[in-house]
Amino acid sequence: MSVLDASAQTRQERLAEYVYYFASDSLRGRKAGTPYAEKARYYIVARYKEVGLKPFLNNDFVVPFSKEGVQFANVIGVVEGNSLKDEYIVLGAHFDHLGVKNGEVYPGADDNASGSAALIEIARELCANRDQLQRSVIIAAFDAEELGLYGSSAFAELLDATIGIDKVKLMMSVDMVGWYRQSGKLVMDGTATIRDGKKLVKSVAERHAINVRAKPFENSPITATDTEGFAERHVPTLAVTTGLKSPYHKPGDKPELIDYEGLDKVTGYLADLAETTASDPGFESSGKVAHKHGDKEPLFEGGIVMSAGGTSMRFPDARMKTFPSSSLNAGLMGRFNFGVAGLQFNVLYDRAKSFFPNLDSPLGTAQQYTQQAVTVPAYLLLRAGKGGNSAYVGAGGYYSYAFQHGFSEVDPVWNVNPHQGGMAAVFGFQLSPVLIEWSFRWQLSRLFTGQDNARLSYGSYITIGWVF
């Protein structure tokens, strides 16, 4: 319970009280499925009642669910709207953390006591302004996020089965918002899922003098938050965070390190943003969704790529091959997706190097051959996966136009053939937006005009790319 009557405290003081409670040693890191997470859950229930929330379903704030035979529970309240009360804005924050590891408590002050605290105070302000709300606002404290987004996924499924997920007009996940001063910004991922979303979040930010960084989509392949279960159902989502400046997933994530002035500013901003979206009958989805959340992938994707590999020189007639030298290339990638098939092509600046034996003294010091070219590999692909997360293999060919070339010493008598080409193969995977590939090339054309039969022999290339 509150040390002081809530009306006698400032919002910043209440936020600090909540964070210190959630991150206290008595809650032992709030690991999902433990009595300590249950203790945090019933603290949230008490705060929800205190601020004036009503239970969303079945006259109970606690909404149980199970995963892999283990029981968990979300805490769900609602502020009922007026003319559009059957439409919903969902604000969520997970209250669980990592518990105790090797005898050390992981307090989780920023992750996510900060978001849980903000959620309570956002609910307080929305309850106070309920007459202004047209849509209803669901306040959801999620369990078992750290185990795999279990609580938010279960709630999205429940909403889909009860009210219909199409009635949810926006979902905001408030996850790690306690380090505003150190970060210098509040990041809002997903603004492109809302019509005029960037303009909306920026205009509300101006009223609170808060620096908001609006990002179109959640595209990181290695991070996820409680928006996922909603975004996969094409609900517009905003993932809200001050970033990873805090001691993320470490025992040092303690309440005394939280920027409470910044947390107070973030809370006021999010309450205003929630009220704005709940009060505007014209608020709507843009119809866009991040690749990582989509069940469809675009017909065409493009990106930038950079590769490193090795190049040798082959002399098939002499059955000789020189030692490899480093080769680099960079440029643009394009891909057409046709389900399990695809067509990919790159346009690259290609810089290749190779040793060339000294013809007068084969055992002496070799010259170095350098070539700069525009290279266009093209592959027919066989693919597995969808929605920007896929693995693929491909085979095809390449063409290079060598626009600059030469030797480290005197040129031999042969002229370089500027038109070169051969076979190519690729194996890769994409975790949108990151692309990683291994590619191979075998030159079939002659390197020199005339009688010599030299070829450039390309070893494997490792490619890293970013898909737009």
d(CA 374, CA 280): 53
The pLDDT score that the predictor gives to residue 127 is 98
The residue type found at 267 is: T
pLDDT along the chain (468 residues), means of 10: 59 98 97 97 98 93 95 98 97 98 97 98 97 97 97 97 97 98 96 96 97 90 84 95 95 98 98 98 91 74 94 80 86 92 96 76 71 96 80 96 82 78 94 90 86 76 92
d(CA 74, CA 89): 17
The pLDDT score that the predictor gives to residue 356 is 74
d(CA 288, CA 356): 54
Cα four-point dihedral sign 330, 334, 338, 342: negative
For residue 366, what is the DSSP state?
P
The pLDDT score that the predictor gives to residue 414 is 67
The pLDDT score that the predictor gives to residue 4 is 45
d(CA 125, CA 111): 23
d(CA 346, CA 378): 7
Chain Cα centroid distance, residue 250: 21
The pLDDT score that the predictor gives to residue 368 is 82
pTM across the whole model: 0.73
Structural domains in the chain, sorted by start: 6-293 (3.40.630.10), 300-467 (2.40.160.20)
The pLDDT score that the predictor gives to residue 373 is 95
Q: Which two tokens stand for residue 248?
A: 């993320």
Report the candidate in 346, 347, 352 with the shortest Cα–Cα distance to residue 309.
352
